[in-house]
A and B are shown apart, each in its own frame.
Chain A
Amino acid sequence: MAGVAFVVNGTRREVQASGDTPLLYVLRNDLELSGPQFGCGLSQCGACSVLVDGKEARACVLPVNRVAGKDVTTLEGLPGLWAKQRGGPADGESSLHPVQQAWIDEQVPQCGFCQNGMMIKAAELLADTPSPSIAQIKQAFMAGPSPHLCRCGSYSAIVEAVQRASTIMARRK
């Protein structure tokens, strides 16, 4: 067991874990974060997604030593990420990232278990592509190690919510 240090949601953290431990277990069990979920452990569904230096990664297969010194954002950290992106801590309108707000406005989740990864992916997409087309949205959720899977079939709601989030972002910038 060695210490691994990295930044989680803006705060430097150090954990004692063997380097091959998947980041997901460290986030959930050591740091008690509940956003990323275990869905498959195989990099095939996206339930466990986090942002590593702004890019979506699958925490279920990512050894913790690979994020040493890096910047990890989980669902819990999306509001902070949004504050940083718009260049100031205070967003008087909401304490949520526009993606989270849009997910509520559009009533996206059914069971909600997959939605961590869906929101992480949406946040990643909108940071690069502020007004994506429907085709770009679908493409984003298909890209990466695997498509992001939702067994409850909330896909159409997700597309609508990404569009709404894009509008909220433009308004709140």
Chain B
Amino acid sequence: MATRTERHETVSTVFGATLTRRQFVRGGGALLVCLGGLNRLGPVGSMLGSTVEAAAGDSNSLNPGLASSWFEIHADNTILMRTGKVDFGQTTAHTAYRQIVAEELRVSYESITSVVMGDTDRTPDGGFSAGFLEYGGQNLRKAAAYTYQALLDLAAATLGVEKSALTVQNGIVSGGGKRASYGDLVKNQQLKLTIPVSGELTNMFGLTVTGDPPLRPTKEYTVIGKSFPNAVTPSKVSAKEVWVTDVRLPGMLHGRVVHPKTLGSTLVSVGTLNKTRFPNAQVIVKGNLVGVVSPSEWEAVGAAQQMAADTKWTDWKGLPGHEKLYTWLREQADWKTTPPSKSDKSRGDVKPALASASKTLTASYEVPFMKHAPIGPTIAVGDARADGIVYVHTHNQNPQALRGQLAMMLGTSVDNVVIRIYAGPGHYGRSNGGNAGAEDEAVLLSKSVGKPVRVQWSRADDLQWSTQSPPGVADISVGWDANGTITAYQADHYMPAMQDDRLVGALIAGLPTQPAPAPNVEGPIGSTINGVSDPWIYERVPNVAETGFGTFQLGQQASPLAVGLRDHSMRTPGQLQQNFPRELAMSEAAARAGFDAIEFRLKQTDDARLIGVLEAVREASGWQTRVSPSPKASATGTASVSGQGVSAMLRSGTYWACVCQVSVVPSTGKITVDKYTIAVDPGIVVNPLQLKRTIEGGALMGLSHALYEEMAFDESGVISRDWRSYPILTMADVPEVKVVILSHPEVGAYGGGSEAANALAISAVAAAFFDATGKIARRLPLKPSHVQGILKA
């Protein structure tokens, strides 16, 4: 069993070149000749940003201004690339990123032989692992484009041929009858290429490569657009991957945390550990944080259970409970303190336009709290060493931000914190701000005992003490004229703060964290401000007013622990809460206006890409063009009735439309999705196969949201504690899934693919339920107990 330990590095200078020999855990060592820098690149070198100097001083950071921090081009023509992004299963870092870099460098996909991902001392850029192609992909694309130019300059000098006369294919530069491989060019060279970056390494967004190096024209692409398999799949299916669950350090103890009784409870008295039953266990108390450690995992589990039973806490009731959630949001929540935000598509004068419309629809929509619910609970190995350096081995979407948060908690410099990243269960956004839950607790326990401690949460901990996707309430009004042309659209979206990145262990222990979401917290997402995240796509509508209203997280201010219901962005964050109401309202309005739901949408836009996905999904799904509800619709009886629903979205530069065809048994309220068809236009398609699989996964997660998911909570805390009380989609619910990918390279950009599909499913299923039954369900999830009342009404 491979235990991932420190990798040794020796640096020596041979013939003026810096040679780095590294020993990796698996496989033999490698002798690397790095592309270190190219002094003669004046214009590029002089663009060095000031933050780079600061980062360069960090003892545990790479210098993001150096090309060698992003790529190593070896004499044998293999290339290593590094990214601060962490792949969570959508394979982007392992496939799409490789393809992007290979394309800009003009090398084959196969020549990029290794990808270093996430480790804070081995990757340059930081930032969250989301919007992979929009953000992280651009960094690599530009860094590679700079490097390509540097290599051309080097080749021109080495070969004595004008740069403009050189061409490159598969890493071989040729021109003037001469040729050299990249490996030849970097061999025995001391090269220094400095690339410009801006930003702050350990904040949410990390560093951005700036400037405008010439990018490869998309029509010359040879690697992008091909379906390369994911390079890590073989190790995952053959049990050779080193998962985060496999990290075992010498002397490591197993830790468990006994979380407080409620989301606002403080300690009254710590129980006494039964030393007869748990002779090797040890209790650690820090503020209100109670932990146990033991060399045996099973003993740690047992000791934690005994301590949980014997430890006394104060009571706390500060939450409305899920049954009163929407009333509470409407009547009690403070929507005044946080300034509202208007969408940039808001225009015209909605009020008079609604008043003079030939018909209108006014309705309210409700989205519950949902859990990210990774299939494995959060886990981390903390290793607080005697020399003051803290290592954390974990699985996290924003390791550099975690590094900053841990440094703040410990009152130390970020130089003293190193995060190492391993494969683990998908987080769907929960850790994109730096933490999933166990990381800080592992560090605190390790610091107390002076040994590495592995903390793994229980299933209940992971549902009850993690962050969740916030609920949303929306009031929508749509008005249209006699021809079914929308003249006015108004949306008021209400949602509590969505990005609480405070470390929960630090909060419980009473240690420093970043501020809780509040109106005055700086930055685009750490405040209580609710931005409009669902871009308006029906461009022909003259009067649009979209407003987002934000508020504090439920119970967080009142909780003596300052915990309460902490929220966090989840796959298609904020947009899910806003797209469901908009798209269901569009389908309802179509029906009232007497139009087919796809026809109605097409009438409101001239956008060729939106029209493209709507027409594609209409054709691929076998859509029946007609007005809803279906002529056979019924809200009663035991016979199954069928319906169809459509939805559309623009997200991260990608256009989406989906159709769901469902069957409903009115007497039971049971909805079965028979077919899910989705059309996607991301502009440039980087990897069709991986895109398809990612979309299928998102689509099924969306059906799970639509049919099952609602976090249950009472006045004291979350009561969803396992897969029975937080059910998700199962194999029995899986419909036929059809993915249509539309490639539009002329767009010139690669839009995202791993979000949107989940959010789109929801309104399409709700519209299909309406088509099948003639009844409208505007509150999620569409589970039998919810929709039965609607069917009887």
Contacts and interface: CB of A to CB of B under 8 A. Distances in A.
Majority secondary structure, A binding face = loop
Contacts of A158: 731
Contacts of B425: 39, 111, 113-114, 151
Interface in A25-65: 25, 28-29, 32-35, 37-42, 44-45, 47
A76 B239 contact: yes
B722 A138 contact: no
Nearest to B729: A153
Given A34-B239, A149-B375, A153-B698, A107 B233 contact: yes
A74 interface: yes
Contact of B704 (A41, A119, A153, A157): A153
A90 B293 CA distance: 46
Interface in A147-166: 147-159
A80 interface: no
Interface stretch (B17-25, B345-353, B689-697, B774-782): B689-697
B274 to A, nearest CB: 15
Interface string B288-313: 00000000111000000000000000
Contacts of B243: 34, 37, 113
Contacts of A111: 88-89, 374-375, 423-426
Interface in B372-394: 373-377
B697 A154 contact: yes
B611 interface: no
Nearest to A142: B732
Interface in B691-738: 693-694, 696-701, 704, 722-724, 728-732, 734, 737
Contact of A142 (B423, B723, B728, B731): B731
A68 B234 CA distance: 32
Interface in B243-289: 243, 245-246, 248
Contacts of A114: 375, 425
Contacts of B377: 38-39
Report which residue of A22, A100, A113, A119 has the largest number of chain B beta carbons within 10 angstroms of its beta carbon.
Answer: A113
Contacts of A44: 459, 722-724
Interface in B438-467: 456, 458-459
Nearest to A77: B239
Given A40-B723, A44-B722, A149 B728 contact: yes
A45 B722 CA distance: 10
B276 to A, nearest CB: 13
B29 interface: no
Given A35-B239, A115-B236, A151-B373, A146 B699 contact: no
Interface string B660-690: 0000000000000000000000000000011
A39 B230 contact: no
A45 B700 CA distance: 17
Contacts of B722: 40, 42, 44
A33 B376 CA distance: 17
A46 to B, nearest CB: 9
A104 B233 CA distance: 6
Interface string A95-129: 01000100110011111111110010000000000
B700 A113 contact: no
Interface string A1-43: 0000000000000000110111001001100111101111110
A40 B343 CA distance: 42
A77 B236 CA distance: 14
Nearest to B736: A156
A72 interface: no
B748 interface: no
Contacts of B701: 151-153
B475 interface: no
Contacts of B242: 34
Contacts of A33: 1, 239
B373 A103 contact: no
B57 interface: no
Q: Which size bracket describes the interface of A in this complex?
A: 35 or more
Nearest to B456: A38
B696 A153 contact: yes
A67 to B, nearest CB: 15
Report which residue of A45, A100, A110, A114 has the largest number of chain B beta carbons within 10 angstroms of its beta carbon.
Answer: A110
B426 A110 contact: yes
Report which residue of A40, A75, A114, A152 has the largest number of chain B beta carbons within 10 angstroms of its beta carbon.
Answer: A152
B139 to A, nearest CB: 23
Contacts of A116: 239
A119 B243 CA distance: 17
A104 B689 CA distance: 12
B107 to A, nearest CB: 23
B689 to A, nearest CB: 6
B237 interface: yes
A109 B728 contact: no
Contact of B697 (A76, A110, A142): A110
B18 to A, nearest CB: 36
B730 A142 contact: yes
A82 interface: no
B89 A42 contact: no
Interface string B734-776: 1001000000000000000000000000000000000000000
Nearest to A155: B734
Nearest to A102: B237
A110 B737 contact: no
A65 to B, nearest CB: 13
A28 B698 CA distance: 31
A25 B297 contact: yes
Contacts of B734: 138, 155-156, 159
Given A104-B237, A147-B731, A153-B697, A38 B376 contact: yes
Nearest to B243: A34
Contacts of A34: 1, 239, 241-243, 245-246
B697 A25 contact: no
A141 to B, nearest CB: 4
A148 B375 CA distance: 11
Contacts of A74: 239
A27 to B, nearest CB: 11
B229 interface: yes
B375 A45 contact: yes
Contacts of A32: 1, 248
Contacts of A152: 89, 375, 426, 697, 701
A151 B374 contact: yes
Contacts of A25: 297-298
A135 to B, nearest CB: 10
A11 B350 CA distance: 75
B231 to A, nearest CB: 11
Nearest to A99: B237
Given A34-B239, A107-B230, A154-B697, A113 B426 contact: yes
B691 to A, nearest CB: 11
Nearest to B758: A153
A39 B423 CA distance: 14
Contact of A110 (B297, B694, B704): B694
B708 to A, nearest CB: 11
Contacts of B375: 39, 45, 47, 111, 113-114, 149-152
A159 to B, nearest CB: 7
B602 to A, nearest CB: 29
A38 B245 contact: yes
Which are the 4 A-B pairs with shortest beta-carbon distances?
A153-B700, A111-B89, A32-B1, A110-B89
30 contacts: A22-B298, A28-B245, A29-B297, A33-B1, A39-B375, A39-B459, A42-B722, A42-B723, A47-B376, A74-B239, A76-B238, A96-B238, A104-B229, A104-B233, A107-B693, A110-B89, A110-B90, A111-B89, A111-B425, A113-B243, A113-B374, A113-B425, A113-B426, A114-B425, A115-B236, A138-B732, A146-B723, A152-B697, A156-B737, A159-B734
Given A34-B243, A148-B731, 14 more contacts: A21-B298, A22-B298, A32-B1, A39-B375, A42-B459, A42-B723, A47-B376, A107-B693, A108-B693, A110-B426, A112-B236, A147-B730, A155-B729, A156-B734
